[in-house]
């Protein structure tokens, strides 16, 4: 039983944040004009609110992923239990900007994991140890999936 832990940037949360920040700033400015706050104060409040919201967004975008391999399935903190018998293939699309892959399963469902390159200048970048754990996770998943399909009788 192997366990892997790393932080993944969540694109859905990023989009939500990019939509909500201007919306909240707009509400602040409109409500400030309604209650007749001087423009200097409103500008200071808006800049402070923007900085706070960006910091909160950057911290909120990262999602912790913990993957545990069992003999017949893997368990993901983000996706739950995924049996090996349902797994079809692992693909790495050319359009992924970061190292990552998509796990195709039976039916129309698929799961994806992507991780950022380690960069000290970026607040959401992963560490080298997380990058190594992610690469080892991908190798282990491929090996376990191949071993399971080799052992199981073909239909």
* pTM, two decimal places: 0.68
pLDDT of residue 51: 93
Residues 41 and 21 in one domain: yes
Domain that holds residue 38: 9-60
Residues 87 and 147 in one domain: yes
Indicate whether 155 pLDDT > 60. no
Residues 103 and 50 in one domain: no
Residues 84 and 117 in one domain: yes
pLDDT of residue 60: 82
| Rounded distance between C-alpha atoms, residue 84 and residue 13, angstroms | 29
CATH of the domain at 92: 2.30.29
Q: Give 115-151 pLDDT, tens digit per residue.
A: 876 666 665 667 788 888 888 888 999 998 888 888 8
- Please check whether residue 49 is in contact with residue 25, taking contact to mean a CB–CB distance below 8 angstroms: yes
CB atoms within 10 A of CB 28: 17
pLDDT of residue 30: 92
- Residue 3 included in any domain: no
């Amino acid at each position: 039983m192997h366990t892997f832990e790393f932080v993944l940037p969540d694109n859905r949360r990023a989009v939500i944040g990019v939509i909500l920040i201007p919306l909240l700033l707009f509400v602040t400015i409109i409500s400030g004009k309604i209650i007749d706050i001087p423009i200097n104060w409103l500008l200071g409040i808006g800049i402070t609110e923007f900085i706070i919201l960006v910091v909160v967004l950057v911290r909120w975008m990262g999602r912790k992923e913990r993957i545990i391999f069992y003999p017949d399935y893997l368990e993901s903190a983000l996706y739950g239990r995924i049996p090996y018998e349902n797994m079809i293939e692992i693909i790495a699309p050319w359009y992924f900007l970061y190292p990552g892959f998509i796990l195709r399963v039976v039916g129309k469902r698929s799961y994806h994991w992507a991780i950022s390159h380690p960069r000290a200048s970026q607040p959401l970048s992963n560490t080298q140890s997380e990058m190594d754990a992610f690469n080892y996770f991908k190798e282990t998943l491929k090996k376990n999936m191949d071993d399971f399909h080799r052992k199981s009788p073909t239909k």
